[in-house]
Structure formats: structure tokens, C-alpha cells
Amino acid sequence: MIQYILECIAFQLVFLVIYDFFLKRETFFQWNRVYLLATFAASLALPWVKIEAFKTDSPAILGYSEYLWNLQPTPIVGVGTAPGPMEITWPMVLFLVGCGMATIAFVVKLWRLRTLKLTGTVQCYRDHRRILIPHSYAAFSFLKSIFLGENFSRKETESIVAHELVHIRQWHTLDLLFFEGMRILCWFNPLVYVYQNRLTELHEFIADAQVPKQDRQLHCEMLLSQAFEVQNISFINPFFKSSLIKKRIVMLQKSKSKKIWQLKYLVLVPLVLGMLFYTSCESEPNSKENLEATSLKNNMVTFAEIDEVPIFPGCEDASDKRACFNEKIQLHISKNFRYPDQALEQNIEGRVSVMFTIDSDGNIVNIQKRGQHPLLEDEVVRIISKLPKMEPGVKDGKNVNIPYSIPVVFQLDGTSAQTIRTNKALESNAVPFGEVDAVPVFPGCENATDSRACFNEKIMRHISKNFSYPQEAQDRGIQGRVSALFTISKDGNVENIDMRGPDKLLEDEVERILKRLPVMKPGKNKGEKVAVAYSIPVTFKLE
């Protein structure tokens, strides 16, 4: 929500800058009125608009490559407890207090109008009501009522009434009431007040433009001569307002703008397209392809290809430093995990993939993330930033930069399906893929120097080769991510396939693919054959 508010304010600021520098001095008053109303409405809608043509489409199947991204077999799952429906937070209280105060101010203004009406004499006409206020020089309109002081001469009264009738016929009060409502809901946004002020000016320019040329001199003299009694009410159209007198006189004397200058409004086309491009593509910089490109550009060596992995503190004497590193990373995340309060309040859950680099000095640098909400992403970045300094990884005898990635799942149900599936696997004496001493050997990986990386790569190739998007799912527009967990038994067979996805059609397709996996050479732990638990996410996306 904070991001939405900031984007709205930024768009409004851009629109107002364009108005003040390019359009404000032109005499296209009606066009400017439409501009102000339309751009304010657009600023509220644009952050929600996502144009598919501006997006970078992904292929139909998006398997997170374990070889390139080194995703752990079992994502780290952080479980939080969703707040009760009646829980109120301090930002909500602050917002409601502001709205309440703005509402009170609005009611006070209405009460002042009612008081003036009760003290005045009401005269009804065919197209308006005239409320005569005794001993006053006040002059303004509200909806179909004209409030007019009794001290004006007959000629001045005729001029003022003609002016205020323009406001009434064009329903200018509704414009101001709209922004009055926005001032209540968006009391914290100063640009709402600026928009209302600009629109008030325009209303006066529009009404003044109806004064015949031969009467304009007299009209200007009347504006200057009155001892103004202006009611400080933001949603009325006052005839006399000292801050507007000079501007109105200037506009009355100004020649009409040439029609060719209406082309200035075309600046809105590239401006709005640029905003749409921003709102549609703002999440793309953290895409998988960009993160991988960053790694390649910086001459990094992937975790699977390195000769000696970085040594996490406490893994110096471990027999399998790669497995120890993976385990320590997971323990660090679990230990430091804290579900963000705002995410709990808003019932936000999801998955965050984070990539970071262990540089040639063993420091954690270049943390990048991709997730379903900024609050979850920020929490993962906070955790990764607390990782300790390590002994750097080595390739060909030299210290190198190592990119590493891991998924973290935020769930609110307290009984994470992923955790339950993992526990089932462990109950059947299966060892997680990241902890087993010798991973299962996929056919074709018998002579691989890194059987773990080869296994991951072969799994991905198998899924890609056998993948078929269910036609019924395509017809119904079903897409999403299926997390699959299965076990490679002591005999090398694929067993205990379990899935979690948005629809059974997608789950059945993943199950069909996994059942076609070949028999493998079983994994070993402490010299004995063991069942190995392995998980992989598969994403179905409609182009």
C-alpha cells in the first residue's frame, strides 16, 4: 500500500508540473478543467494497470534451474500466525484519526453554510436560489444556491449573478466536492490541496470568460473596489477572493490562445505510456535472467562448478563442506527469521528467491531478491545481510566470487504443507537431498565430476522434455506454481510423490512427469544406501 501511495503522489506531481509549466497560462480553460480531473483520476488508477505488451513473457514452464540457481531441495519455510480480524495497528489508527479530523472540518464548513442560509432571505428563481445576506458584501455559489450580500448595487448584483450562474450551470461545485472527499481520504497528500486550488482558479477563469468584452473594464473595477468578505470554505465558488483577483484580471485582459497550442496536450501520450511502462515492468529488474546475467557479467563461478566451496564458520572440519554449507545457511535463516508485522497484519504470504554473492574476500555482497511482496523481500534481505564472513571459494587455485541462491517461503497457516511433506519424508527415514553424503546417480551421470549438479540438470531436462500443458487447464486459464516432493528409494525408484499447487490438473501433470523418471543408483549416507527426499518447483504460465 505504501508503494501505491508513493506512486500516486509521484504521478500527480508530474501531472501538476506539466500543467503549471505548459498549460496553466493558456486560455483553454475547459480543456484544463478536464486535464486536472482526468489526471488526478489517472494517478489513482495507473499504479494498478499492468499492460501485457510491456511485460517480458516467460516460457510456458519455468522450472527453477537447480544447476544455475542452486535452489535447495526443501525451501526454507517461515511460518507466522495471522492476526485476528479485529486487530488494529497504529498506522491504521493514525489514518483514521486524520480522516476523522478532515471529516470534522468538512462538517464545520457545511454548518457555516447552513448558518448563512438561516440568517439570509431565500429567493427562488427558475434556475437557481438566491440567498440574500444582510449587511454583507459576500458573494459565492454552492450547488444551485447563490449567496449574495445586500450591500451591492443593482448593476453589481446582475454582474455577480451572471458570473455565479456559470458555476451553477457547469456544476463546478461537484468538482470541488470531489476533491473535498479526497482531502478526507488522502489528508496526508499535499497535492490534493494543490489540485483543488488549481481547479478553483480555473472555475473563476471559466466564469470570467463569459463577461462581454465591453463590460470587462467595469468587471475589473468591481473586483478591485470591493472590501472582500470571503468565506473560508474550500468547496464554494467565491466571487471575491483576494488571492485570485490579480490572476483573474490578467486572464480577463489576455488574448485567446491560438488553437495550435492545443497540441501541448499531446505531451500526455508519451507521459502516460511511460507511466504504464513503469507500472507494468517495475518488477522485471529482479528477474531470473537478469540475476544470472549479473553473475556472468561479474565473472562469477556458480556454486555447482566451484572446486572448493566457501567455508561457513563451523564447517572447517566437515567431511562434506558443500552439505555443511547448505545446512548452515538454512540454520542461519531459520534462527534469524521473523515474520514482518505488517505482512502478518495484511495476511501476506508467498515465496522469495534470494541470490547473493560470497566475494573473493568471503564477504556477502550484491544481495538481490525476487518475491511476491516487498515486505517479504526486505525480511529476507535483512536475514542474508547478517550472514558471517566466510573463507572464500576457490576455482583453479584462485579465490573467486560465488553466486548462491535459496528460496524462503512465508506461510501463515501454522501447519505449512511443505513442512508436513518434508516431515513425512523424514519419518520414512529419507535423508534430504542437501544433507546426503552421496546423492542418487541419474543415468548418464555415472562419470560426472559433480554428481549433485548433474542430477539437478538431468531432472530439469527430464521435466522440460516430458512437459505438456494440460489443454483443459489452458482453456480454463489455470496457471501457477506446483511444488513437488518425492523420494528416491534405497532401490533407486521414485516413490511417495506429493504435490501442492493451485489446481489438480497441474498437480496431475507434474505427477505424470515424475512417474516417468528412470530407476537411479540410490544415494548413500554414512556408507549405507538410504532413501533421499527431493523437491522441485514447476511453474505453469500462460503466454
pLDDT, mean of each 10-residue run, the chain (543 residues): 83 89 81 90 83 46 34 44 56 88 92 88 89 83 86 80 86 89 91 89 81 60 50 53 60 71 78 76 46 48 81 88 85 81 74 86 88 85 90 88 84 46 52 84 89 87 88 86 86 86 86 92 89 85 77
State pTM to two decimals: 0.46
- What is the pairing mode between strands 480-488 and 393-395? unpaired
How many other CB atoms are there within 10 angstroms of residue 237's CB atom?
Answer: 27
What pLDDT score was predicted for residue 290? Answer: 46
What pLDDT score was predicted for residue 426? Answer: 46
What pLDDT score was predicted for residue 101? Answer: 94
Task: Give the 3-state secondary structure of 475-538.
Answer: HCCCCEEEEEEEEECCCCCEEEEEEECCCHHHHHHHHHHHHCCCCCECEEECCEEEEEEEEEEE
CA-CA distances (angstroms) from residue 430 to 4, 310, 421, 454?
46, 27, 12, 21
Q: Let me know if domain 416-543 sits in CATH 3.40.50.1220.
A: no
Eight-state DSSP code of residue 438: B
Q: Which amino acid is at 349?
A: E
Eight-state DSSP code of residue 389: P
What pLDDT score was predicted for residue 223? Answer: 58
Residues of the chain with CATH 3.30.2420.10: 283-414, 416-543
Cα torsion 354, 358, 362, 364: sign: negative
Q: What's the rounded Cα separation, in Å, for the pair 484 and 193?
A: 53
Task: Provide the CATH number for the domain formed by 283-414 in this structure.
Answer: 3.30.2420.10
257: helix, strand or coil: coil
Query: Among candidates 382, 373, 293, which has minimal Cα distance to 336?
Result: 382
What pLDDT score was predicted for residue 464? Answer: 86
Q: Which cell numbers in the block locate residue 13?
A: 506531481
Distant-in-sequence, close-in-space partners of 229: CB < 8 Å, separation ≥ 6? 136, 137, 138, 149, 240
Matching residue, cell 516413490: 495
